[in-house]
Amino acid sequence: MNESHEIIDSPKIIVAIDGYSSSGKSTMARELAKRVGYIYIDSGAMYRAVTLYALRHHLFNADGSVKKAELLPHLNQMNITFQPQAGEDGVQHTLLNGEDVEKEIREMEVSNHVSPIAEIGEVRERMVALQKEFGIHKGIVMDGRDIGTTVFPEAELKVFVYASPHERARRRWKELQQKGVDIPFEDVLKNVEERDRIDTTRAVSPLAKAEDAIELDNGAVTHEEQMEWLMKRFQEATEGKA
Ligand code: DC
């Protein structure tokens, strides 16, 4: 029996990958899930989908704050799901009430409005409940900010990913350029820094490393090195379960 079969035959676990925005955690999480045949869930996409819904329904004030009392009754009407298979672009698309919103939720308009949405306790409660349901049968890799601390504190493998704001802005800027979005680097850097500030200082489930999470400095390693490192950690975690 080869190594990959041993991994797949082991009891399924939950993998929680948390970290700062644009730290490369989604790429790692997605690839790990693909390699080991697990479900991948991008929890940030869910907060982005709520933000898109709020933008479409004019639920922001002119100063960028959320019309919270008006938003809350809409929460139960938002069904956020994911396409079971990755599309031609290799990405698993996010669906909002059945509509493919993958492209729109990645636009700057959503990025600039998502933090105040993710700060609302009721929004987080609803998203965390949905996220827990996705993980009910284990065999899942989920990335976000509070996966190891709040969504799956029992996860068998927790990774916390670091990278400098400059490095993360560079990555995000490159991604946007590839998608044909031409935006000054400085604007992307400002957005990354502002989101860090809000993510780490918000009252409910701030971005924090779980005590038992393993740290990865993602600024200093190549993609292949990251994946090798992650596959080793995954193997150790599943062996622990066998
Ligand atoms: O990972 P991302 O940049 O797509 O996340 C979008 C926003 O959602 C980001 O501002 C932080 C928030 N978020 C969160 O609060 N909790 C999560 N588990 C995932 C994302």
- Sheet strands side by side (includes 140-144): 39-42, 140-144, 14-19, 157-162, 214-217
Task: With cut-offs at 50, 70 and 90, classify the pLDDT of residue 7.
Answer: low
- Alpha-carbon distance of 182 to 18, in angstroms, equals 28
What is the 3 state secondary structure string of 126-149? HHHHHHHHHCCCCCEEEEECCHHH
Residue 44 near ligand 1, beta carbon < 6 Å:
yes
Closest-CA residue, ligand 1 atom 6, reads 44
Q: What is the pTM of this model?
A: 0.89
> Ligand 1 centroid vs 222 CA: distance in angstroms?
24
Query: Which residue from 43, 102, 106, 200 has its CB within 8 A of the most atoms of ligand 1, so it is best to mutate?
Result: 43
- Going by alpha carbons, the residue nearest to atom 7 of ligand 1 is 44
20 vs 94: CA distance, rounded Å: 20
Mean pLDDT of 98-118: 93
Q: What does the block give as tokens for 45?
A: 């996409």
Name the residue with the closest Cα to ligand 1, atom 4. 44
- When the pLDDT of each residue in the chain is averaged and rounded to a whole number, the result is 91
Q: Quick one: pLDDT band at residue 126, thresholds 50, 70, 90?
A: very high
Q: 227 pLDDT exceeds 90?
A: yes
Instruction: Determine contact, residues 40/166, Cβ cutoff 8 Å.
Output: no
The whole-number pLDDT of residue 2 equals 46
Q: What is the DSSP letter of 66?
A: B
Closest CA to 43 of 137, 133, 108: 133
The reply to whether ligand 1 has any atom less than 6 angstroms from the CB of 115 is yes
